Structure formats: structure tokens, C-alpha cells
A and B are shown apart, each in its own frame.
Chain A
Amino acid sequence: DIQLTQSPSSMSASLGDRVSLTCQSSQGIGNYLSWYQHKPGKPPKPMIYYATNLADGVPSRFSGSRSGSDYSLTISSLESEDTAIYYCLQYDEYPYTFGAGTKLELK
């Protein structure tokens, strides 16, 4: 199975900070990686698909990028509503796999 390693596992940042979360794949998945924001009691919310495409309705402060097998989700200016757990998901091959998540909190 493809392993996705997310780093850091948790982090805290201040309002207005630029934040980058990373997801490293154990093997090639092309751009078949998406990011989801998950808040307690809610379903996951799609943020980025196909590595770099912004999902519908997602603020433009979010962006996705790829460098080789490393994928990043960047928030250009952190807002309070962005606190959540962020998961990456590879959907290149079965079984689809999620990373363990990065918990993002406000400092």
C-alpha cells in the first residue's frame, strides 16, 4: 500500500502567518493527491484536488503544490477558521490511503 507521511503531526501558528503542511508519498502517485480539512463533528471538506487545484468555494489563501513525491498545502495568511486537522489522500491506486493528518492550532 502507498504510505503518505504528513508533517508536522501538529503545529501552532499565529493569525496572519504563512503555514505550509507537507505530505510525502512512499511511491509515485503523479498528481493524484487531494487535501481535506476536518473539524470535529463535521465531515471532511475538500480543499485541493489533483495536487494543485482549488476545490469549489475554498478561499484563495489556500494553495497546493508538488515537488517530486512531496506535496504541500499552504495557507498564505492564517485565519482563525482555518484551525482543523488536515489530511492528504492519494487516489492513484487502490487502496486509496490517507495521511495521518496535521493538527493546526492557533498560537
Chain B
Amino acid sequence: QIQLVQSGPELKKPGESVKISCKASGYTFTDYAMHWVKQAPGKGLKWMGWINTYTGKPTYADDFKGRFVFSLEASASTANLQISNLKNEDTATYFCARYGYYSAHWYFDFWGPGTMVTVSS
């Protein structure tokens, strides 16, 4: 069955970097794009962008340009999110979500469980 498994929680200091992984199984990884969504504590969902798992080309929402990098380890069916120069406001749960195709339409059909990143000095 289709699964997205994310790496475990992270506790980091301001200025450090973190890399979150999202390992896919149960389908052909390169057939479906992977999106990333942020949820800060007590806040709603925010779309960060996506990566084309076939070409590796990332697309970022404006608020996530610069310190955020989407990457792939396609041979391992894994998408990664790296955040550099961490700030307190990066404290959040980060979800990966597959962009699936049903009945001629696309939507986020499978989600990872989320990775909690805490930034604190």
C-alpha cells in the first residue's frame, strides 16, 4: 500500500540547519510530484511548494525562497526538505504530500505523518 514515512522530530538551535526526509513506498516515486506543507503551532496549513520527482525541479512559494531547499534521492524514493539558518518561526510540523491523480483530477491524496521541528536556544 502507498505510504509516506517521514523522519523523526528535530530540536535545533537558531542558525543551525535541518534536513527532513519523506520516503515513499507502494508506487512509482517519479510518477507523482511531492508537495510540502507547514503547520506552525496553533496555526493553519501553509503550502510551501513542490518538487517534480521526475526532473528534480523545485518550485517554492515566496515565503520559502532562500533558506528552504527541496531535493530528491530518487533511487531511494525519498524527497527531502532542508532548512538552513533556522529561525524561531521555523518551529512547526512539516508534512510531505503526494499529488495524486484520480478520475482525471489531481489532489493531495497521501500525506506523511509530519515531522516536528523545534527551534530554540
Contact = CB atoms under 8 A, between A and B. Distances in A.
Interface of A: 34, 36, 38, 42-46, 49-50, 53, 55-56, 85, 87, 89, 91, 94-101
Contact of A95 (B44, B62, B97, B109): B62
B103 A98 contact: no
B8 to A, nearest CB: 15
Contacts of A38: 45
A34 B107 contact: yes
Interface string B82-116: 00000000000001010000110111110111100
B102 to A, nearest CB: 7
- Nearest first, the 7 closest Cβ-Cβ pairs linking A and B are A49-B107, A43-B111, A95-B61, A50-B105, A96-B47, A98-B45, A34-B107
A26 B26 CA distance: 38
B61 A43 contact: no
Interface in B15-59: 35, 37, 44-47, 49, 59
A44 B95 contact: yes
Contacts of A46: 107-109
Contacts of A97: 47
Given A94-B59, A98-B46, A36 B108 contact: yes
Interface string B62-78: 10000000000000000
Interface of B: 35, 37, 44-47, 49, 59, 61-62, 95, 97, 102-103, 105-109, 111-114
A70 B49 CA distance: 25
Given A43-B112, A44-B95, A91 B44 contact: no
B107 to A, nearest CB: 4
Contact of B61 (A45, A85, A94): A94
Contacts of B113: 42-43
B56 to A, nearest CB: 18
A43 B47 contact: no
Contacts of B108: 34, 36, 44, 46, 89
